[in-house]
Structure 1
Amino acid sequence: MSQDEPTNFLYPFIDAQEDDPKSLLADLAASAQAKAAESLALRRSTLEANAGLLEAAATEMARRFAAGGRLFTFGNGGSCTDSMTLARLFARPPLGRPLPAWPLTADQAVMTALGNDVGFELVFARQLIARAKAGDIAIAMSTSGGSPNLLAALAEARHRGLYTAGFAGYDGGAFANNPSVDACFVVRSQSVHRIQESQALLGYRLWSSVHRHLGDQGLGAA
């Protein structure tokens, strides 16, 4: 963000000429409270809107894990971090059995080699070609639902017999109503921050539901 770019779309009081520290602190507190309330309301509505899809996806993922399937996750930017967090939740959970899950963004050598040799659009699809098999699971995380490298990977995954899921914001973007996406979880917000907060909760609920279907005790109500 340049120095000349306004910041009032995020924090309106920053650009205001506020000389009273108490008033500024009150504005800060009110802004934080408003964002927390907005985030809570969105997370609740997102879970409600996606409840049936979460149950269906968890059922299928549990079936595939039980049969020896593996999970591959991927995303760009902040969604890269979120996809790594989700994979590690499955692979190194705080409760329940670990399940085989890998983030395709974790190996910098592979990512840079593929980006340099075949192009960034194929950095995830080519890894799935090398590593995935029918019966596995692929999850792409995005705020826009329109990244070409994620769409290419989902198409490749679907072609190879993987169960595919996409996390997206706004109206779902190109993930929505896509024949390469078995389950599209949409967070209906225009804010990247709020989208990613709700996606984190969706991922956690998906993980806990998978364990419930696998018969792990103490996780069904998470």
Structure 2
Amino acid sequence: MTAEIRDAILDSAATLQRLAGDAAAIAAIAGIVDLAVAALGRGNKLLLCGNGGSAADAQHWAGELVSRFHYDRPGLPAIALTTDSSILTGIGNDYGYERVFARQVEALGAAGDVLFALSTSGRSPNVLAALRAAKAKGMATAGFTGQGGGEMPPLCDLLLRAPAESTPRIQEAHEVAGHIICAEIERRLFPRAP
């Protein structure tokens, strides 16, 4: 069992090494930071969605932005569309699970906002529907997926493709990218005195 644990850690580390050496991924992360900073700086907000572990990432990143990341500063408007059980079950019941995020984007999104859409496969119907709804509202779209990309590329203004095929490794790369994005948003909007 010890060997399996070590192998899993090494596999995760190898994914992060590939991420660090992936110029397109680095550019996507930097672009997503720029997009979010511009939107938040002009008074817009971030909406975030995903399923399963990606839902947890959406909630985690929204929490880092609304509360704080490295240091105290004003809260930032970031809403995880994965958290309200009454909304999720109501939309799921009335419109179908495919619409659980799109309906919230239609209700809460505005032109100039940014949707962070997470799908390790790039094929989650409810995430794709949310991206289409965001485009219809005049929102910017930032996607987080695996190396294949699925159906997300044409729906995303910026797309981070984690350099992995397995869901756990993709999610681990997304989590590192999410922390970088939250840290950079905080640093750029609320720089600390040296």
Quick check: TM above 0.5? yes
Alignment of 1:76-95 (within 5 A): 76-95=51-70
Per-residue CA deviation, residues 1-39 of structure 1 (Å, 9 max, x unaligned), is xxxxxxxxxxxxxxxxxxxxxxxxxxx111111111111
Per-residue CA deviation, residues 105-140 of structure 1 (Å, 9 max, x unaligned), is 110000000000011111111111111111111111
Equivalent of 2:7 in 13, 34, 53 = 34
Alignment match, 1:8: none
Alignment match, 2:87: 110
After TM superposition, what 4+ stretches of structure 1 lie above 3 angstroms from structure 2? none
Alignment match, 1:68: 43
Alignment match, 1:20: none
Matched, 1:200 2:175: yes
Matched, 1:155 2:127: no
Counterpart CA distance in 2 for 1:54 and 1:170 is 15
State whether residues 69 and 186 of structure 2, in contact with CA within 8 Å, keep that contact through their aligned partners in structure 1. no
Counterpart CA distance in 1 for 2:77 and 2:2 is 42
**RCO greater where, 1 or 2, for CA within 8 Å and sep 6 or more?**
2
Whose helix proportion is higher, 1 or 2?
2
TM-score (norm 2): 0.91
Gap regions ≥5 residues in structure 1: 1-27
Counterpart CA distance in 2 for 1:76 and 1:44 is 26
Counterpart CA distance in 2 for 1:203 and 1:48 is 17
RMSD: 1.5
Gap regions ≥5 residues in structure 2: none
Greater gyration radius: 1
- TM-superposed deviation, 1:211: 2.4
Per-residue CA deviation, residues 37-96 of structure 1 (Å, 9 max, x unaligned), is 111121132143211121122112101101111111111122111211111111112324
